[in-house]
A = this chain, B = another copy of it.
């Protein structure tokens, strides 16, 4: 439901015609938590914006509203300072917009927090000769060190972990793969400014074998015997890499069960989303039931 609808162009025409500033409510929609969302789209003078904002908040206060979300596209950057001076603060930002918030009641705010995690993947891809797919990067902490590592990457906004792992392996090495399982995951903090990382170790099955490395970020890529890879000083020293090798081999040789993606359709979504679980153990139970 829209609380009220006003149009900047109408407002400006009225001002020109009679010189009186009409104070109209800002267009807003309700959320599910007694809050309102102002999704600003059209340019507006910052003084008119402040008048409308004050009148709107007064109106919403009478209605018992709590949180006020203000989404300002980057083209409306002229309104940011005005909003902050009215008591708004930053909630989150993306390249093309800034989301500010305001809390009307006297009580402590219960607004949801911003996204806190980036999601990365590391890919364990082994061929029939027990060679793993490895790369050398030409930026970051391992640049110029000669260290071989598993392909890694960051999941894009809106991308499934399994799809992101397939994409990263393809981009870095040219190898096509099928996603099998998440073998393990790791959570680390303050990895990027104050944000945390969730890093998923993924097992993928190679569908092609001819390497074509990416020019921009990858120095070299190859199939390397797993024993040679595991003998690198870094693999013997660094806990995570050592664990990735151990778990990958436990999967290949000893039937270690990770979490495989099962499509499901929850009530709040109309497209399938993936539940990752130990399907081997769950299926064994169903068989034994």
User: Could you list which residues of chain A lie within 8 angstroms of chain B, going by C-beta atoms?
Assistant: 32-33, 74, 77-78, 80-81, 84-85, 89-99, 110, 112-119, 139-141, 154-158, 160-161, 183-196, 198, 216-217, 234, 237-240, 243, 246-247, 250, 253-259, 262, 264-269, 273-278, 281-282, 284-285, 288
Contacts and interface: CB of A to CB of B under 8 A. Distances in A.
Contact of A268 (B77, B119, B139, B141): B141
Given A112-B192, A115-B114, A282-B247, A274 B96 contact: no
A250 B96 CA distance: 46
B275 A240 contact: yes
B118 A247 contact: no
A90 B96 CA distance: 7
Given A188-B266, A268-B141, A281-B257, A84 B93 contact: no
A194 B157 contact: yes
A88 B193 CA distance: 19
8 contacts: A74-B90, A92-B93, A115-B116, A116-B158, A119-B196, A141-B268, A238-B266, A278-B278
B243 A256 contact: no
Interface of A is mostly: mixed
B276 A186 contact: yes
B187 A273 contact: yes
A99 B184 contact: no
Contacts of A81: 77-78, 80-81
A146 B110 CA distance: 22
Contacts of A141: 32, 268
A257 B239 contact: no
Given A89-B95, A194-B158, A250-B281, A239 B264 contact: yes
B254 A281 contact: yes
B273 A113 contact: no
A-B interface, 7 closest residue pairs, ranked by CB to CB distance from nearest: A93-B93, A184-B277, A90-B93, A239-B264, A256-B281, A115-B115, A254-B285
